[in-house]
Amino acid sequence: MKYWLSSVYFFLSLVSFAGLPHKGTSVLASGTWYKVAVQETGIYRITYEDFKAMGFDPTQFNDSVIRIVGNGGGMLPEANSGPRTDDLREISIMVVDGNDGRLDPGDYILFYGEGPDKWTYDYTTHLYSHSKNLYSDYSYYFIGTGLEKGKRISE
């Protein structure tokens, strides 16, 4: 029993010092966030009116702090040794606001969202393969505001 416990301790110490970076807190830990479901891959538009319907008051923040985070579509790897992300990644967005720094009626943001299914191109055969997500019909993104400036699509 003592040998088994020391083996587990040794393994855990190797895992914890393997150089794998882990964040202390999630990106969702601060700020205000709203969850959005995406069923297909494409460009999505979120209007001033959508922000109001989500419960945001666009008059209370500068649009530079609008952020969208998510990990896109596809299934997680089934193998435990497969690559994993530690937190949600930020998606670059385009803000169309009349260059006044705030969302007004008629203003909107655009972002590229990936649906739950994946298409993969094989460079050897020059063919695409389709992978249906067996566990969900949606991918999820989180739209939020906070203190940090959000990523933008460069022109």
Tell me the domain boundaries of the chain: 35-145
Amino acid 143: pLDDT: 96
What pLDDT was estimated at residue 110? 96
CB 5 within 8 A of CB 67: no
Q: What are the φ and ψ backbone dihedral angles of 77, each rounded to 5 degrees?
A: -65, 140
Q: Which residue in the block uniquely carries the two structure tokens 């997500």? A: 133
Asked if residue 76 lies in contact with residue 47, where contact means CB atoms within 8 angstroms, the answer is: no
What is the pTM for the complete model shown? 0.80
pLDDT value of residue 5 = 41
**Which phi and psi angles does 10 have, rounded to 5°?**
-60, -45
Eight-class DSSP state of 95: E
In the chain, what is the straight-line distance between the N-terminal and C-terminal CA atoms, in Å? 62
Residue 21 is predicted with a pLDDT of: 64
Give the residues of the chain that fall short of pLDDT 50: 1-18
